[in-house]
Amino acid sequence: GIHKTISSLLLERWRSEMNQEINHINQVLENTPHLEKTDAIQQWIRSVLRRMEHYKAEHNKLLKEAMTLLELALWKAMLDGNREDDASILEMPAKKTNLDIESIRIKRRITSGASIVIKNVLPFLKLR
């Protein structure tokens, strides 16, 4: 339910604000005339859903940034881990070396395993 989704939000402030918003209905209904309670509840539901959608969008934006950083970190680790292979390339003529280093960087980005790691990490970070 909504409480499970709220507990999955990345920032404590978001979780706190959503819980306050949900609890706010008790104060509203206490001071609302009997015939206006239905309208007050409907307005409250819209407010909760609107805020939740906003936080979901922000959560997904932060998640996308985190996945990009993870991909870059994996790529860098792959590049750093293969420095000994690069030594033989540096002995080549300069023009050929630049082309080879660039093609190796591209190849290592593709083979860094980021797509596999991200595919397996992302489900744990998405909102339920």
pLDDT in tens, 50-79: 999 999 999 989 988 988 888 888 877 777
The region of weakest confidence among 34-38, 57-61, 81-85 is 81-85
How big is the chain, counted in residues?
Answer: 128
The answer to whether 74 and 82 are in contact (CB under 8 A) is no
DSSP structure class, residue 43: H
What was the pLDDT predicted at 86?
A: 52
What is the distance between the alpha carbons of residues 98 and 103, in angstroms, rounded to a whole number?
9
Q: How far apart are CA 104 and CA 47, in angstroms?
A: 52
Name the most confidently modeled range: 21-30, 95-104, 112-121: 21-30
pTM score, whole prediction = 0.65
